[in-house]
Amino acid sequence: MNRGQTVFSQVMDFIPMYEFRKCVQQYHGNYKVRSFSCWNQFLCMAFAQLTYRESLRDIESCLNSMQNKLYHMGFRSEVSRSTLAYANETRDWRIYADFAQVLIHIARDLYKDAEFGVELDNTVYALDSTTIDLCLSLFPWAQFRKQKGAIKLHTLLDLRGNLPSYIKITDGSVHDVNILDDLIPEPGSYYIMDRGYVDFARLYVLTKFCAFFITRAKKNFKFRRLYSHPVDKSIGLRSDQTVVLTGFYSSKDYPDKLRRTRFYDAETEKLLTFLSNNFIIPAITIAQLYKCRWQVELFFRWIKQHLRIKAFYGTSKNAVKAQIWIAISVYVLVAIIKKRMNLNLSLYTILQILSVTAFEQVPIIQVLTNFSCKSSEDDSDNQLLLIDL
């Protein structure tokens, strides 16, 4: 006799089913499917992410060991590794990419008033990429170098809540700067990037869309100073200048003025030079915003450590992309649960609790609110504070 919903099914109740079905219908995901639907595939893969399953056989064994609970967890057919493997190979990964964007939209609305360390009303994004190494013999489509395979996860992170607003998965050989061609700049928003994204023709597009960027200047940066502005050197600032480019090609690519700010970081003992097209905010705010760019690095480290995106259940491009997008969906879903239930636990702690209570038939609020322990060393690490708001 069922004594109530399992914790896993209560987690899945936060999913907007109408939106999921729309994504499935758009790509005909259930066309000629008799039993193992896209929803069953999503449930299996989400369960694998939440409970850290190692392989398809691991997923099959774990779920079938609780056969009497599967129906109440939402599964409407038998789970077998061959069927799941076939679904990962053939079901269009864009179903889960579009659905992840639906969850991201919901989460960003929940975290729109979250603080990120700088008092600014504008939306602030951090843009970067991470490389996931793959075995070239198993993933021949992901050629990176002559004897090495890899894919890149390009991410535009909204610093209010540290939520990925844009993600693109490419081959490892795609240069980071090319992603700027795919972005649709939001007027009034800030885009924080490292030196790998310095391409003045592409940066000028942001300026024409009335969006702001902050990046670091390269060593061979050629410019001419027009004005110098006073700075407070006691807080680390060294200069604040209005400049124009003097390089033959760069001056044509970016004919407008730029702001050049130099800041001395006492912690690393480095002199940093920033470039921006914003002349309104204080010079120290530019340095503070660039420091916030590190949140995207912490995001990459976090998902690599706590989600299954480094080892894959399938070897095709479709299977890899589907697994990554479902992992992102799980990450955002847990962030939504954290906000809607007004939890003070870190995202890491919530995932750990859900991983060991997935089959428990108790209210999820009871599982998450009755938890109490002293903060561990891992819990206080910066990488675990991504959504600890």
For position 70, what pLDDT does the model report?
A: 85
**pTM to 2 decimal places:** 0.90
Tens digit of pLDDT at every position of the chain (389 positions): 346 789 999 999 999 999 999 999 999 999 988 889 999 999 999 999 999 999 999 999 999 888 888 888 888 888 899 999 999 999 999 999 999 999 999 999 999 988 888 888 899 999 999 999 999 889 999 988 888 899 999 999 999 989 999 999 999 989 999 999 999 999 999 999 999 999 999 999 999 999 999 999 998 899 999 999 999 999 999 999 999 999 999 999 999 999 999 999 988 889 999 999 999 999 999 999 999 999 999 999 999 999 989 889 999 999 999 999 999 999 999 999 999 999 988 888 999 999 999 998 899 999 998 765 554 444 444 444 444 43
* Cα(247)–Cα(222) distance, integer angstroms: 6
For position 178, what pLDDT does the model report?
A: 94
Written as six digits, the tokens of 80 are 């077998």
Q: Are 8 and 69 in contact (CB under 8 A)?
A: no
For position 389, what pLDDT does the model report?
A: 37
- Which is nearest to 48 in space by CA: 311, 298, 301, 318? 311
Q: Are 213 and 276 in contact (CB under 8 A)?
A: yes
Cα 270–273–279 angle (5° rounding)?
140
For position 33, what pLDDT does the model report?
A: 87
For position 375, what pLDDT does the model report?
A: 44
For position 384, what pLDDT does the model report?
A: 41
